[in-house]
Structure 1
Amino acid sequence: MKKPPALSIGSRLAIVSPSWGGPSVFPHIYQQGIRNLKNLGFEICEYPSATLDANELFHNPQIRAQDINNAFADNDIDGIIATIGGSDSARILKCLDIETIANNPKFFMGFSDTSALTTTLNQAGIITFNGPSVMAGFAQLHNFDDKYQSYIHDFLFSNPASRLLPTFCQYNHGYPDWANIEQTGMRNPLLNSRGPQVLQGAQNVSGQLFGGCIEVLEMLKGTEFWPTPDFWHGKILFLETSQEKPSVEYVRYWLRNYGVMGVFDKLSALLFGRPRDYSDQEQIELEQTILSVVREEFFNSQLTIVANLDFGHTDPQVILPLGIQCEVDVQTGQLNLLETVFA
């Protein structure tokens, strides 16, 4: 796997919109995210798609793809961050210059609908990052506690040989109404977290991280952008649900498809992010469903499964680098990255 060059104070970040044109709808949220990235020490380069009208962006997937191609090809760009997710970034995959991107690895991060890109580029051989976007994560960064702000800073600007990813005792579901400018950068009320839930697993396991938003990955199944059958061997698959709050039964159906493909028998571990807008009881129901599909429907009682982890559509979320070796501690449910994430 090709790792991106390390970031530093003064690194130049390209801002792109691979999916929804959220910055044109809520420019104050976008600008707050840009301010917070600058406060971290980055130089910002806004590409044309970043603030393009949402309707025009939707009808021109090639513009979105071209920005990504150009950002990877530009030697003056050190990293790329998505403005926000959406629902149709899969449409731009056929327009990507995969060869040029693979030959110019750079820090590329987003989550939710950006999963279509992070998983596709990771299969092309580069490390990609599932983590905060400009509008969802960075726009609220100044309102997180010191622990999370320090974690984000350290992750972006250091490159240790291993990293134990933190867990957080409180979290929030989404943000106040973005149409209310007075609430720019605010978070919804904090709730107490149940912490990582180890559903199954007898001993610590390790493998390469891979995954993203479960609904987005459904759009890629059966396409040229879906992993080959042998790709799954030794992977740690992480999945999270979107802000649309899919029902537990839909998650069952999607997981059943992975079982039919034989994925569970090839993985080192299966991880689930804390689901947005699920109550504690609904979280427990989801966990029971995940376990029943893997263990009862597909007779796999060996696969390590951990749920309710700090990634996905709730905050705070940790950054998960696709393609990096990771160890899962079955006693605590914590994740330990076993290698540097940057070159």
Structure 2
Amino acid sequence: MKTRVEPVFCSLKPKDVIGVAAPSARFDAQAFEKGVQCLESMGFQVYIPNGVTGRHRYLAGTDRQRADVLNLLFADPGIKGIIAARGGFGAMRLLPLLDWDSIAGNPKLFMGFSDTTALISSLVSKAGICALHAPNLVSLGRADKKTLDSFAKTLTGCFTRIDLPSDQVLAGGRATGRLVGGNLSTLVHMIGTAYQPDFRGSIIFMEDVGEPAYKIDRMLTQMKMAGVLDGVKGVVTGSFENCDNDAYIPEIIQEVFFDANIPICMGIDVGHGAVNLSLPMGGNAILDADHAYLEWDFSVK
């Protein structure tokens, strides 16, 4: 059996260089520039590589172009962090084209959310690198203060305890494990591939946007029937933004995990909502449903 690698969080400091990748969809140039200005206002230098503004159908360039940018950014010792330009779709297509040995040998902090869940999950499981579930570059320029404060603190290694809504605790208890997961739709599409997430012994985080309750039900049911949820030690969910009949979602989650006897909390301000707090993914987290909080305890490099 393959031995798990304990991921390390590669925190950043002021004046570090953050490279921009575009692993998914095309992006708006004005929103992109606002995001760059936001990073610079935080004291970071921003490197925009050639080819990051490519266009191929709905994607930001061909698969090879987008993968080459990521491989080059990870291999460059002067780049200390990498942020995804935006989500949408396309990150999954890059996974077989990435140089995973080189990436594992050059650990650095990767940031993004939504479609970039495919990269975050694979960085944790294949390369042993903690990643940051956080706003993409185009999201930063329009982010509110709470989102920006969380982003700035977390990528520099200041892991702030997050209080959870006590009225959205679905099952009590306390669990410790690696925090993994991200966008539910993306995670489901990875089932059956060589990059299928391994949630055993972990606390799983989930969020989504634009998916009606019956599709959330179908996705979670598929995950359970595929055995992907076996061994999960805790569940915490973010926002289910613009999801029809979202009032059904708590009941669906309780049904899926009814026999697991694990803590389950909902309502964390993470995802596609107005507030998108940053979550260090891959390191040890503590989910305390009895006292309604989530906090971290893992290595920082």
Q: Given the two structures, how large is their TM-score scaled by the length of structure 2?
A: 0.91
Structure 1 pair 236/163, CA: closer, same or farther in 2 (3 Å)? Answer: same
Give the counterpart of 1:252 among 185, 206, 217.
217
In structure 1, the residue matched to 2:189 is 219
| Superposition pairs of residues 13-162 of structure 1, within 5 angstroms | 13-22=18-27, 26-53=28-55, 55=57, 57=59, 60-124=62-126, 125-136=128-139, 138-141=140-143, 144-145=144-145, 147-157=146-156, 159-160=157-158
After TM superposition, give the deviation of residue 9 of structure 1 in Å.
0.8
Give, as a single letter, the amino acid of the residue that structure 2 aligns with 1:309.
Answer: I
Matches for 1:264-303 after TM superposition, within 5 Å? 264-278=229-243, 282-295=245-258, 300-303=259-262
The aligned counterpart of 1:176 is none
**Larger gyration radius, structure 1 or structure 2:** 1
Residues 57 and 87 of structure 1: is their aligned pair in 2 closer, same or farther, counting only changes over 3 Å?
closer
Whole-angstrom CA distance in 2 between matches of 1:58 and 1:33? 17
Q: Please give the secondary structure, in 1, of the residue aligned with 2:232.
A: coil
Distance 1:312 1:56 in 2: 22
C-alpha distance in 1 between matches for 2:200 and 2:190:
19
Distance of 1:130 and 1:324 partners within structure 2: 12
Q: Per-residue deviation at 1:301? A: 4.9
TM-superposed deviation, 1:254: 1.1
Q: Which runs of 5+ in 1 are unaligned?
A: 168-193
Structure 1 segments, 4+ long, off by >6 Å, are: none
1:135-174 Cα shifts (integer Å, max 9, x gaps): 12x1113xx23x44433322222x35x641356xxxxxxx
Match among 197, 200, 218 for residue 168 of structure 2: 197
Equivalent pairs counted in the alignment come to 295
Query: What is the alpha-carbon distance in structure 2 between the residues aligned to residue 308 and residue 130 of structure 1?
Result: 16
Query: Mean alpha-carbon deviation: is it higher for 147-156 or for 65-74?
Result: 147-156
**Aligned-residue identity in percent:** 26
**Separation in structure 1 between the aligned mates of residue 185 and residue 151 of structure 2, nearest angstrom:** 26
**1:314 counterpart (262, 266, 273):** 273
1:100-158 per-position Cα deviation (integer Å, ceiling 9, x unaligned): 0011110101111111111111111211121111112x1113xx23x44433322222x
> Any idea what the Cα deviations from partners look like across 1:32-86, whole Å, max 9, x if unmatched?
1111111001101002343223538456101101111100000110100001001
User: Residue 174 of structure 1 aligns with which residue?
Assistant: none
Match of 1:171 in 2: none
Q: Is the 8 A contact 2:18 2:45 kept in 1?
A: yes
- 1: CA distance, partners of 2:166 / 2:220: 22
What is the distance in 2 between the residues matched to 1:312 and 1:49?
28
Q: Assess if the C-alpha contact under 8 Å between 1:196 and 1:309 holds in 2.
A: no
- In structure 2, the CA distance between the partners of 1:251 and 1:57, relative to structure 1 (3 Å rule), is closer
* Partner AA of 2:255 in structure 1: S
Shift in Å, 1:324: 0.7
SS at match of 1:81: strand
Give 1:175-194 correspondences, 5 Å limit.
none
Structure 1 residue matching 2:285: 3-state secondary structure: strand
Shift of 1:274: 1.2
Task: Answer yes or no: is 1:11 the counterpart of 2:20.
Answer: no
- 2:179 corresponds to: 209
How many Å apart are 1:5 and its aligned residue?
3.5
What is residue 3 of structure 2 aligned with on the other side? none
Assess, with a 3 A threshold, how the Cα gap between structure 1 residues 139 and 301 changes in structure 2: closer, same or farther.
Answer: same
The residue aligned with 2:202 is 235
Q: Deviations over 1:184-215 (max 9, x none)?
A: xxxxxxxxxx77711112x2111101101111
* Cα gap change, 1:212 to 1:11, in 2 (>3 Å): same
Task: Output the CA distance in 2 between the equivalents of 1:56 and 1:307.
Answer: 33
Using the alignment, how far apart are the partners of 1:336 and 1:259 within structure 2? 26
Q: What is the root-mean-square deviation of aligned Cα atoms in Å?
A: 2.1
